[in-house]
Chains A and B, each alone.
Chain A
Amino acid sequence: MTTGTGGMALAEASNAFIYATMLTLTIAMVFFAASFASGRRPSTAKVAAQASAAGTGSDSGPIAVLDRPDGSSSLDAGRRLANIGMSLTWLATGLLTIALVLRGLWAGRVPWGNMYEFSISSAWGVLVVFLAMSLRRDLRWLGLFVVIPALLTLGLSVTVLYTEAAQLVPALKSYWLVIHVSAAIVCAGAFTVAASSAGLSLVQSRREASGRVWGGPMASMPSAERLQTFTSRIIAFAFPVWTFSVIAGAIWAENAWGRYWGWDPKETWAFITWVVYAAYLHARSTAGWRGNKASWIAIVGLVTFLINYFGVNIFVNSLHSYAGL
């Protein structure tokens, strides 16, 4: 280890910011959950019903109609709670960014050298993809289902995956690390957000199919069709990025191991993920598959991604076993 005590201070500061992030996200989660539980808002539900009756019109969720409120009088309690959740999520993402920068400064390289670092970066990816998308449309309804996976990832990172080492194993000493892994982090974020909204669309679809107008939390959510469209847009964005990540990985593999594709377990599962999301995109343009079946495929896609990440890194003897555990 080349880092001195000054360096350790940086690492400790990074850890402190991680804990601050988790605390902030936990509070954000409580606010989002309270907003979600506050449930049915008549005005919003009416707009949602109108919007879904009009078919695939505007792409912003039904709540977007009420976006940028002109007076606080139009804000009900649930929306105010969700707004606090959003602000806290922004704050948490800022804190996490600082944590990552400090970690990188301490290590003297990009903070993607082991599973701990990759996991906190993925949590960052989830939050950033969510926040970036929230700039263009109202995503308060999704907040709870993005903050939870981000928190779980961070929790797992600090408890199970935490590692202190600063140096890279020889196989990772390449600029391809930056290119290949940054794309994978974006995909981790996008696939997670997509799976969250796909899961919600399945619940919503059951609710709609039951014919009864349930009250409760789901009443304030966008219609199943809108959730499906939202899911497909994220995947349409993430799929080329994933393709890029796989290609960049192949170029690196050619340089490191003498073949651009060798069916290493990591490569195999990256391929499986790619094929599953390709199937998703095809399902979206196949009659009878567009709806719930496509949503299930989006969830299966994330599962294959997670198997690749946790399963292959920890349990399988792969050239990619860099977990540092």
Chain B
Amino acid sequence: MTAPPSPPSVLTEAPVPPMGTGGFLRWAWRQLTSMRTALILLFALAVASIPGSILPQRGTNPLLVDEWIAEQPTLGPIMDSLGFFDVYGAPWFAAIYLLLFISLIGCVLPRVGVHWKALRSQPPAAPRHLNRMSEFTEQQVSIPPVELIDEQAERLRRGRWRVRTGSTEDAVWLSAEKGYLRETGNLVFHLALVLVLIAVAVGGLFGWRGNVIVKEGSGFSNTLTQYDAWGGGRLATADTIPPFAFTLDDFAVEFERSEAQRGSPRLFEATVDLQREPAGPVVRESIEVNFPISIAGTKVFLVGHGYAPSFIVRDSTGAVVLDDDIVFLPQDGNFTSTGVIKVPDSSPQLGFQGIFLPTSALDDIRGPHSAFPDADDPSVFLSAWEGDLGLDSGVPQSIYSLETEQMEQIGLRALIPGQAWEFPGGEIEFTGWQRWASFQIAFDPGKEAALAASILAMVGLTVSLFTRRRRLWVKARPAASGSSLVEVAGLAKSEAGDVAEDVAQVRSSLNEDERRDRP
């Protein structure tokens, strides 16, 4: 830049970064900690949160994410790499909230210092011209100035005003301020938000959460390998995973059968045989929605359920190549469920895409679907494929999707329990169904701190928003025969500060004094 140094003018106030590293950093810091930046970051945070509520997220629904990506082979992986299926863990999301918090700290910390000083200092002296204030009245009172100001100071102090008195050559004055709690609450609120973030971070770093689907009659032991999905923080260690185990003995569900809200769930209850320690006794416990069980700081929650139809597959020689209950995932409120049966041990390999209908219904628009969530009239629609399942390709596969590129469809069939379908390469028998329940098992060492900090934030916020900061001045000049000419003025220092009421109170107390004083 060769431009000559410009004379001091309003132009120098324009937000242009100054030259030099130090100057630039100071400029950048001022920008970051400005209210305007906080506003923009708040908007950015709100907007950045939206995709996570529309797209399936790994944190809440990893299975749906896999399906979504499988359905969108080009777009899916790109969005995945950009973090759209884990928005709230994505670097760009973190960047926004970390900047917001840096901005917050940069804004709030200096204000703590300023407020600390304000708390320890007296209100400023009364200005010369009180009539310029938004609230101003004037009247004559038959009490001498010094006595009047003393009385008012006393009254205001009782009303928890901070009062300073003084005098000039022609007047006695008092200056009062109230509502310091507004800023105190405001600062507490913002600093408590920082504590919330720290507590969430502690929970995120040291905590872990796992999801597991357990079929009726099957067991679960709390080790990492048993989970369908397990997510731990960077500092989560295996020794915070308590070694309990349980068997899902029974999963009871009830659905509304009357006309209104037909199909709404009315009861979910998982009965488990729980072993809290490896060699401990087995106790029967029940896990319900809203009623988790707690084991050594870890909680086990019931979060979902579904059906696992049972199949036996035989190859052309009649040998059993599969005999299992296959977990199908519910697709709608009536538990129309889809799943995949993979039979790698037959030759050629077999694969089935299935739709399980707990209460079968068929129409032209929706095709086969379930009309009620309970298993009143179960059936399964199967599409059979033979060829290469692609399990050896090295690419991990979802157990809920079938790679059909190297397979050939050999037929479609609907089965009810007990029915079998014979096809050229073998036979599949639909033998019945079981329920499965999905559990979330979670450990979060930061949650108590997060709660405490949230409550602190809320208290600070409430105190701040419900406190009005305002100043009052009373100035008395001697008038004829021992009376005073009194000026009362008020100034609201905060948005909701309504000082008219305070000024009116001073007036009415002056009038009372006046009446009392009058013979």
Interface residue ranges, A against B (CB under 8 Å): 1, 54-59, 114, 163-165, 167, 169-171, 173-174, 229, 232-233, 236-237, 239-240, 243-244, 247, 250-251, 254-265, 268-269, 271-272, 275-276, 278-279, 282-286, 288-289, 304, 312, 316, 324
What are 14 contact pairs spanning A and B, CB under 8 A?
Answer: A1-B258, A56-B134, A58-B498, A169-B266, A171-B289, A236-B465, A257-B301, A265-B54, A271-B49, A272-B49, A275-B45, A276-B46, A279-B43, A289-B39
Given A263-B88, A279-B42, A282-B42, A255:B209 Cβ within 8 A: no
- B388 contacts partner chain A, Cβ-Cβ < 8 Å: no
Given A57-B135, A264-B60, A170:B46 Cβ within 8 A: no
Please name all residues of chain A whose beta carbon is closer than 8 Å to the beta carbon of B393 when the two chains form the complex: none
Closest A residue, CB atoms, query B494 = A285
User: Are A263 and B60 neighbours in the complex by a CB distance under 8 Å?
Assistant: yes
Instruction: List CB contacts (< 8 Å) of B255-310 with chain A.
Output: 256, 258-261, 264-268, 288-290, 292, 299-301, 303
Question: How far does the alpha carbon of A56 sit from the alpha carbon of B490 in the complex, in Å?
Answer: 12
Question: How far does the alpha carbon of A279 sit from the alpha carbon of B41 in the complex, in Å?
Answer: 9
Given A163-B260, A251-B451, A243:B457 Cβ within 8 A: yes
Binds A, one of B143-151, B320-328, B375-383, B437-445: B437-445
- B450 contacts partner chain A, Cβ-Cβ < 8 Å: yes
Partner of B465, one of A163, A240, A279: A240
Given A236-B495, A237-B465, A286-B35, A260:B447 Cβ within 8 A: yes
Please name all residues of chain A whose beta carbon is closer than 8 Å to the beta carbon of B135 when the two chains form the complex: 57
User: Are A165 and B46 neighbours in the complex by a CB distance under 8 Å?
Assistant: no
- B69 contacts partner chain A, Cβ-Cβ < 8 Å: no
Please name all residues of chain A whose beta carbon is closer than 8 Å to the beta carbon of B259 when the two chains form the complex: 164
Q: Shortest beta-carbon distance, A225 to chain B, in Å?
A: 12
Please name all residues of chain B whose beta carbon is closer than 8 Å to the beta carbon of A276 when the two chains form the complex: 42, 46
Please name all residues of chain A whose beta carbon is closer than 8 Å to the beta carbon of B290 when the two chains form the complex: 170-171, 173-174, 255-256
Partner of A275, one of B42, B288, B461, B498: B42
Please name all residues of chain A whose beta carbon is closer than 8 Å to the beta carbon of B465 when the two chains form the complex: 236-237, 239-240
Partner of A272, one of B50, B258, B299, B466: B50
Count B interface residues, CB 8 Å. 60
Closest A residue, CB atoms, query B86 = A263
Question: How far does the alpha carbon of A260 sit from the alpha carbon of B446 in the complex, in Å?
Answer: 11
Closest A residue, CB atoms, query B61 = A317
Question: How far does the alpha carbon of A256 sit from the alpha carbon of B303 in the complex, in Å?
Answer: 8
User: Are A258 and B299 neighbours in the complex by a CB distance under 8 Å?
Assistant: yes
Question: How far does the alpha carbon of A316 sit from the alpha carbon of B56 in the complex, in Å?
Answer: 10
Given A58-B500, A165-B256, A165-B264, A260:B450 Cβ within 8 A: yes
Q: Shortest beta-carbon distance, B491 to chain A, in Å?
A: 11
Partner of B42, one of A236, A251, A262, A278: A278
Please name all residues of chain B whose beta carbon is closer than 8 Å to the beta carbon of A59 when the two chains form the complex: 498, 500
User: Are A279 and B35 neighbours in the complex by a CB distance under 8 Å?
Assistant: no
Q: Shortest beta-carbon distance, A292 to chain B, in Å?
A: 15
Given A239-B465, A244-B458, A279-B46, A263:B495 Cβ within 8 A: no
User: Are A256 and B42 neighbours in the complex by a CB distance under 8 Å?
Assistant: no
Please name all residues of chain A whose beta carbon is closer than 8 Å to the beta carbon of B36 when the two chains form the complex: 286, 288-289
Question: How far does the alpha carbon of A275 sit from the alpha carbon of B441 in the complex, in Å?
Answer: 30
User: Are B258 and A275 neighbours in the complex by a CB distance under 8 Å?
Assistant: no
Given A170-B288, A256-B301, A258-B292, A247:B57 Cβ within 8 A: no
Given A165-B261, A165-B264, A276-B46, A258:B500 Cβ within 8 A: no
Closest B residue, CB atoms, query A237 = B465
Question: How far does the alpha carbon of A54 sit from the alpha carbon of B132 in the complex, in Å?
Answer: 11
Question: How far does the alpha carbon of A262 sit from the alpha carbon of B447 in the complex, in Å?
Answer: 13
Given A250-B454, A251-B451, A170:B266 Cβ within 8 A: yes
- B59 contacts partner chain A, Cβ-Cβ < 8 Å: yes
- B224 contacts partner chain A, Cβ-Cβ < 8 Å: no
Partner of A258, one of B200, B288, B301: B301
Closest B residue, CB atoms, query A268 = B53
Question: How far does the alpha carbon of A63 sit from the alpha carbon of B387 in the complex, in Å?
Answer: 82
Instruction: List CB contacts (< 8 Å) of B486-502 with chain A.
Output: 492, 495-496, 498, 500
Please name all residues of chain B whose beta carbon is closer than 8 Å to the beta carbon of A114 when the two chains form the complex: 261
User: Are A263 and B301 neighbours in the complex by a CB distance under 8 Å?
Assistant: no
User: Are B38 and A282 neighbours in the complex by a CB distance under 8 Å?
Assistant: yes
User: Are B45 and A257 neighbours in the complex by a CB distance under 8 Å?
Assistant: no
Question: How far does the alpha carbon of A288 sit from the alpha carbon of B40 in the complex, in Å?
Answer: 13
Q: Shortest beta-carbon distance, B505 to chain A, in Å?
A: 14
Q: Shortest beta-carbon distance, A9 to chain B, in Å?
A: 16
Q: Shortest beta-carbon distance, A230 to chain B, in Å?
A: 11
- B76 contacts partner chain A, Cβ-Cβ < 8 Å: no
Given A56-B492, A240-B461, A260-B450, A170:B455 Cβ within 8 A: no
User: Are B256 and A167 neighbours in the complex by a CB distance under 8 Å?
Assistant: yes
Q: Shortest beta-carbon distance, A286 to chain B, in Å?
A: 4
- B106 contacts partner chain A, Cβ-Cβ < 8 Å: no
